[in-house]
A = this chain, B = another copy of it.
Amino acid sequence: MKIGILGYGNLGKGVEAAVMAAPDMELVGVFSRRDPSKVKTESGVKAYAAADLETMQDAIDVLIICGGSATDLPEMTPKYAALYNVIDSFDTHARIPEHFGNVDAAAKKAGKIGIISCGWDPGMFSLNRLYADSVLPGGKAYTFWGRGVSQGHSDAIRRIEGVLDARQYTIPVPAAVERVRNGENPELTTREKHTRECFVVVEEGADKARIENEIKTMPNYFSDYDTTVHFISMEELQRDHAGLPHGGSVIYTGSTKTASGEKKHVIEYSLKLDSNPEFTGSVLTAYARAAYRLNKAGESGAKTVFDIAPAQLSPLSGDEIRAHFL
């Protein structure tokens, strides 16, 4: 199957690596809003202008859209679902119904598949919440994120006056994770679940006390958390915080009841990722395979990870999958 990538930041590069490693995919090109002559791809595949997508329907089976959820994807995914099978990693939870509806309408009209909100959360974590709740209805799902870099929180710090660069780590509170794992079913506040640790590079002579206070009191981002701020040099930031690791866990506690009493069960799914965008890109690529196959089978419209049978993600045959994984 022939794959196009729209958007060539960290996520686009992660998708590129996954597509190059797939035995059954061919990467057609990377599409960017930047001047394509200035985009040098890691694989050497050709860079195109995004505008070229208007006329390349015959060359591309699935377009993997690597844009931001705030403004890019709400516009891009429905637009390109009218031309291609598409897939995105839309993660603005409150707007998913609206986004699903827009992509569904465009994709159905075009006879294409549009998979939205794919990655690890939403994505693999969502799958695990649903599987667990389906098997043990009425239980409780806890999601912990980290230790990992939150790009949104890092960006928020960078917008503070006097800040040159910053990296923010989201960290689960170990005692909270343990209580959940032990089946205590605790009610946990935002503050009890995660802490935030910030590494900040400031301008020469900047007022560190003001900056630290602005971070710690920032509504939505930091004010509900216990936050630690470290001021470090640009050299330290580049040396020690260049990666984008992330991860976390979904822990589900449920029970069954028979004449012999109530029995507790704990289901835990966890990820420890050296690179958030490379793993997310790998998930998108596996689901791109499913988008292609579903469309070949005559399906159309918006889908999520919930609507797709696991076998659709693998390049292997049904016999091979049963032999290796069942």
Contact = CB atoms under 8 A, between A and B. Distances in A.
Interface of A: 13-14, 16-18, 21-23, 42, 93, 96-97, 100, 117, 122, 124, 126-131, 133-138, 141, 256-259, 263-275, 278-279, 281-283, 286, 289, 304-311, 313-315, 318-319, 321-326
A2 to B, nearest CB: 19
Contact of A127 (B96, B131, B138, B275): B131
25 contacts: A17-B256, A21-B137, A21-B257, A22-B137, A42-B258, A96-B322, A96-B323, A97-B319, A124-B131, A130-B311, A133-B314, A135-B283, A256-B278, A264-B274, A265-B274, A265-B275, A265-B279, A266-B272, A267-B270, A268-B271, A268-B272, A306-B310, A306-B322, A308-B309, A309-B309
Contacts of A265: 271-275, 278-279
B256 A263 contact: no
**Interface centre among A138, A289, A309, by most B CB within 10 Å?**
A309
A93 B326 contact: yes
A17 B18 CA distance: 44
A244 to B, nearest CB: 9
- The DSSP consensus for interface residues of chain A is helix
Given A97-B323, A135-B279, A265-B271, A306 B318 contact: yes
Given A130-B311, A267-B269, 13 more contacts: A14-B258, A21-B256, A124-B267, A126-B325, A127-B131, A127-B310, A130-B321, A130-B325, A136-B279, A256-B281, A265-B271, A268-B268, A268-B269
A293 to B, nearest CB: 12
Contact of A322 (B100, B267, B311, B313): B100
Given A306-B325, A310-B131, A13 B278 contact: no
A271 to B, nearest CB: 6
Contacts of A266: 271-273
A94 to B, nearest CB: 10
A96 to B, nearest CB: 6
Contacts of A306: 309-311, 318, 321-322, 325-326
Given A135-B279, A135-B282, A306-B309, A129 B325 contact: yes
Given A269-B269, A311-B130, A318-B306, A122 B326 contact: yes
A282 B318 contact: no
Contacts of A256: 14, 17-18, 21, 275, 278-279, 281-282
B135 A325 contact: no
Contact of A263 (B138, B275, B309, B318): B275
B310 A326 contact: no
Nearest to A308: B309
A323 B100 CA distance: 11
A322 B134 contact: no
A306 B44 CA distance: 36
A191 to B, nearest CB: 24
